[in-house]
Amino acid sequence: MAEKIVEEKKKPEGKKAADKKPEFQLYNSMSKQKEVFRPKEEGKVGMYVCGVTAYDYSHIGHARAYVAFDVLYRYLKYLGYEVVYVRNFTDVDDKIIKRANENGEDPISLSGRFCEEYLKDMDDLQCLPPTHQPRVSDHIDEIKRMISQIISNGCAYAVDGDVYFSIDKFPDYGRLSGQNLDGNRAGERVAVDSRKRNPADFALWKAAKPGEPSWDSPWGPGRPGWHIECSAMSAHYLTHTFDIHGGGMDLIFPHHENEIAQSCAACSESNVTYWLHNGFVTVDDEKMSKSLGNFFTIREVTKLYHPLALRHFLLGMHYRSPVNYSILQIEIASDAVYYIFQTLKDAEDALTEFRGKDEIDDAKASISTKAKNCIKNLHDEILTRMSDDLHTSTILSAALIEALRFINASVETLRKKPQKKKQRQQQQEQQTTVLSLIELEREVKEVLDLLGLLPRLTYSEVLSQLKEKALTRAKLTEDDILHSIEERAQARKNKDYTLSDQIRSDLAVKGIALMDLGKETVWRPCVPVQQANVVDPAQ
């Protein structure tokens, strides 16, 4: 069909940004309320997000944070902003040194290895690479210069090779978190040290110890404290004043509180407009902890579930809300992702015979009113929900599902054989259906791309991957499934419907659904029946 006609009807690039849209609002942790987003420089955004301390594989709490800020990054670009996104690596730290000593490995080498593993996880989750991904070990000079400036401004002091920030010199300390100085205590990367002028003072520079990486400095050999790195690197890439600083809620105090103090002490003009923080992750309503045995790395999850299923699961809750990870919820997300890609593959297959044909009458062919309304609703929902502090969950649970159901209905219409008596009328209706399906498919793909859920592979390849993960969870092979299908077919042929039903039920318990399509039986992953206490989005 007239693919060239559809191409001519494409919206011009950048039109989304020009459309009338609601004002973009973000919840600012500093003001404790939503605020309309106003960048410091029109059309441009500077964003810094605290990265991982690279001493082990990243866990689902990391996935939670960086998927959330990836969506923000994508949406800012969708709105037409030029974004400089900085996300750092902490590759010099007590935890890294401890792990390296346990392994008999160089600390910088160990952290470099886990930085690369982290990047693989982010790529699997389809998080876009930030503009800059600095590492502490590459920015020691910037850190030392900032510490020197803080000392010059009278807000820090050196003791035996260590340098401490003087909390008493910063009266506004606590304005982000609302906590007092007593909260800056041992156990929060603040060491107990009688040499401090105030017990809450925190280290900017740590004197070298045997077996630790160190660099020369005006105060003697040593390494940076934890908090100073982000102040120095954000200033280096974004200047002392920029738009957005993000991280997990656990970083509000003391890390971000200390960052504010350091940055303001180094430069009186230092200012971040919006402080954003994502919610915590729990597992089966308990805090994630290695001691409780409910600590999961991203790799452990994606061994059993497709990375896009994990991403869908994380987008299913508002980024500021707590996320409760459970097998049920990740199964539901996996099922939803399969439904999305199966629907789009069905649409792609249905449109194959019509692509490249030219017989559409330009004067008569157009998309249906129902399709126009569906597309408008999806587009409006994206702008409304995303502009309201990034409410991804409502998009996935409502507008997107409505559009996918419309696509399925259109595919079914195209599969129907035309009746000879109404051939001309049905041909016109078919043309309308095809054009409607093409436009709606394009809009759905745009939404998925915005959410980071549009696969890089073909739909067939992703569906195959989802099925492989389901087989892994069920501890079955494709041959096992085919054998069960044959066994069930024989049972039905023998009218042994009890056995037939039992075979189907046994597979359903393992997350494998058998579907009879005429004389053929096929299978697809499903939520295991003992967990299926919610409505399947495909229904």
Residues 6+ apart with CB under 8 A from 162: 193, 195, 203, 205, 206, 207, 219, 222
**Of 12-16, 146-150, 368-372, 502-506, where does mean pLDDT reach its minimum?**
12-16
The span from the CA of 344 to the CA of 438, in Å, is 11
Q: Which helix (H) or strand (E) holds 516?
A: strand 512-517
Categorize the per-residue pLDDT at 356 as very low, low, confident or very high, splitting at 50, 70 and 90: low
Mean pLDDT of 269-276: 96
Report pLDDT for 2: 36
Mean pLDDT of 115-133: 98
Q: Are strands 202-207 and 286-287 parallel, antiparallel or unpaired?
A: unpaired
Report pLDDT for 358: 54
Report pLDDT for 294: 78
Report pLDDT for 534: 42
What is the percentage of the chain residues whose pLDDT exceeds 70? 89
Q: DSSP string of 168-180? A: GG-TTTTTTT---
Mean pLDDT of 458-471: 98
Work out whether the CA dihedral 187, 189, 193, 196 comes out positive or negative.
Answer: negative
Report pLDDT for 179: 85
Q: Is the pLDDT of residue 311 over 50?
A: yes
Q: Is the pLDDT of residue 526 over 80?
A: yes
Q: Is the pLDDT of residue 16 over 70?
A: no
What's the CATH class of domain 39-156+165-179+225-303?
alpha beta
Q: Which helix (H) or strand (E) holds 47?
A: strand 44-49
The whole-model pTM stands at 0.91
Helix, strand, or coil (residue 301): helix
Provide the token pair at 394.
């409502």
Q: Is the pLDDT of residue 115 over 80?
A: yes
Q: Is the pLDDT of residue 295 over 90?
A: no
pLDDT, one tens digit per residue, over 231-266 is 999 999 999 999 999 999 999 999 999 999 999 999
Burial (CB count <10 Å: 0-12, 13-18, 19+), residue 477: exposed
Categorize the per-residue pLDDT at 362 as very low, low, confident or very high, splitting at 50, 70 and 90: very low
Q: Is the pLDDT of residue 4 over 80?
A: no
Q: Is 445 left (phi over 0), alpha (psi -120 to 50) or beta?
A: alpha
**Of 354-358, 441-445, 476-480, where does mean pLDDT reach its minimum?**
354-358
Q: What angle do CA 267, 271, 276 make, to 5 degrees?
A: 140
Average pLDDT in the chain = 90
Q: Is the pLDDT of residue 532 over 80?
A: no
Q: Is the pLDDT of residue 182 over 80?
A: no
Q: Is the pLDDT of residue 367 over 70?
A: yes
The span from the CA of 197 to the CA of 64, in Å, is 38
The span from the CA of 445 to the CA of 442, in Å, is 5
Please name which of 71, 129, 128, 126 lies closest in space to residue 455, comparing C-alpha atoms. Answer: 126
Report pLDDT for 14: 41
Categorize the per-residue pLDDT at 423 as very low, low, confident or very high, splitting at 50, 70 and 90: low
Q: What residue ranges do the domains of the chain occupy?
A: 39-156+165-179+225-303, 325-460, 475-531
Q: DSSP string of 314-360? A: HHTS-TTS-EEE-HHHHHHHHHHHHHHHHHHHHHHHHHGGGTT----
Report pLDDT for 171: 94
